[in-house]
């Protein structure tokens, strides 16, 4: 008997776990449970989780599953019809709309929050202000030493998210290419492409040569945010809710959710709630910028 103890534990726990959802489902069966599948941007994932948690508390008949993976991953899932809502930190591309249309899906866009990209350095780095042009020149490999932008004589180590990150694409278009459509500047090849926000933060925390970027909501207080000016001779602004809302901080963007066609039923109710004052209060709490 005792020899079979592990087996018994497995059997009992299986029996228990297969029971509990049943009882839960029975409790909610009067309202018939709705499932919402939500996937995409790693920038949005914490926000989406906080929303889903609160919403499920208030609406026990709705089950929302939230996963990250990157904006491209979420939109690819939307195109394949496997998610109800795709989170994206960039706007959907024309090719992606086309691919979705070929599968009979019409993506519909909702702006759910705003986010600022903070450029971060190690606290030991004396540089505290940069223009967009200087950051562009750092990342494209024109500047390779911190003393070229008023810092110490140290090599510059450029950190970036992987290319499947919406933040990467946004940073490329807005900062490296300064928002110019015909500008074809690329990241310097020796830019480190790290698979997660956490990787960038760990490296910036311990390496005084590093420069990185990340969503404002993800930057811990012990790292130094750079004040940024749109061009030479213009005032420098630190990223904050105020400087994003009055549009003085130059690297801020909208965050999106995409649905398969005009949303109906539970998905519509959820998206309506997301733009409510209640849900937008959570946005501010997580360090993002509310849309209302």
Partner 1 sequence: MEKSLNFREFIITRLIKLCGYSAIVFVALIFIFLMKEGIPTFQEVEPGILFSARWYPIEDYFGILPLITGTIMVTLGAALFAIPLGIGAAIYISEISPRWMREILKPLVELLGGLPSVVLGFLGILILSPFLRGFLNLPTGLTALAGSMLLGGIAVPTIVSVAEDALDAVPRAYREGAWALGATRWQTIWRVTLPAASSGVLTAVMLGIGRAIGETMTVMMVTGNAPVLALSLSNLFSPVRTMTATIAAEMGEVANGSIHYHTLFFIGMVLFLISLAINITASSVVFRTKKRYERILS
Q: Interface with partner 1 by CB under 8 A: which residues? A: 69-70, 72-73, 76, 79-80, 95-96, 99, 154-157, 162-164, 169, 184, 186-187, 189-195, 199, 202-203, 206-207, 209-210
CA angle 214, 218, 221 (to 5 degrees): 105
Nearest distance from residue 92's CB to partner 1, in Å?
12
Distance CA 190, CA 93 (A): 27
Question: Is-contact 291 61, C-beta < 8 A?
Answer: no
CA atoms lying within 13 Å on the CB side of residue 270:
32
Distance CA 73, CA 71 (A): 5
Among left, alpha and beta (phi > 0; psi -120 to 50; other), residue 179 is left
Using the minimum distance from each CB to partner 1, give the nearer residue, 3 or 184. 184
Using the minimum distance from each CB to partner 1, give the nearer residue, 156 or 266. 156
Cα R_g (the chain), whole angstroms? 22
Distance CA 126, CA 124 (A): 6
Nearest distance from residue 16's CB to partner 1, in Å?
29
Nearest distance from residue 239's CB to partner 1, in Å?
25
Nearest distance from residue 7's CB to partner 1, in Å?
23
Query: Residue ranges of the alpha helices (H) in 29-175?
Result: 45-58, 71-79, 94-102, 132-140, 166-171
- What is the signed CA dihedral for 6, 12, 18, 19, rounded to 10 degrees? -160
Nearest distance from residue 200's CB to partner 1, in Å?
11
Nearest distance from residue 151's CB to partner 1, in Å?
14
Nearest distance from residue 53's CB to partner 1, in Å?
25
Q: Tell me which DSSP letter residue 104 carries.
A: T
């Amino acid at each position: 008997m005792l020899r079979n103890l592990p087996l018994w534990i497995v059997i009992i726990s299986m029996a228990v776990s297969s029971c509990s959802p049943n009882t839960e489902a029975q409790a909610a069966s009067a309202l018939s449970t709705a499932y919402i599948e939500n996937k995409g941007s790693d920038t949005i994932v914490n926000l989406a989780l906080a929303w889903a948690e609160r919403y499920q508390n208030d609406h026990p008949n709705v089950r929302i599953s939230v996963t990250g993976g990157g904006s491209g991953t979420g939109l690819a899932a939307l195109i394949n019809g496997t998610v109800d809502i795709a989170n994206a930190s960039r706007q959907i591309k024309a090719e992606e709309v086309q691919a979705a249309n070929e599968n009979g899906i019409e993506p519909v866009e909702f702006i759910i929050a705003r986010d600022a990209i903070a450029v971060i350095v190690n606290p030991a780095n004396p540089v505290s202000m940069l223009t967009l042009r200087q950051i562009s020149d750092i990342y494209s490999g024109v500047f390779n030493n911190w003393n070229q932008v008023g810092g110490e004589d140290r090599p510059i180590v450029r950190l970036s998210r992987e290319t499947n990150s919406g933040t990467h694409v946004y940073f490329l278009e807005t900062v490296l290419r300064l928002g110019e459509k015909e500008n074809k500047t690329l990241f310097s090849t020796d830019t480190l492409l790290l698979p997660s926000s956490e990787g960038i933060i760990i490296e910036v925390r311990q390496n005084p040569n590093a420069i990185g970027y990340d969503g404002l909501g993800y930057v811990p207080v012990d790292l130094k945010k750079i004040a940024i000016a749109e061009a030479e001779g213009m005032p420098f602004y630190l990223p904050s809710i105020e400087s994003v809302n009055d549009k003085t901080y130059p690297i801020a963007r909208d965050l999106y959710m995409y649905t398969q066609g005009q949303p109906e039923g539970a998905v519509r109710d959820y998206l309506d709630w997301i733009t409510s004052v209640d849900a937008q209060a959570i946005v501010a709490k997580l360090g993002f910028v509310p849309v209302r």
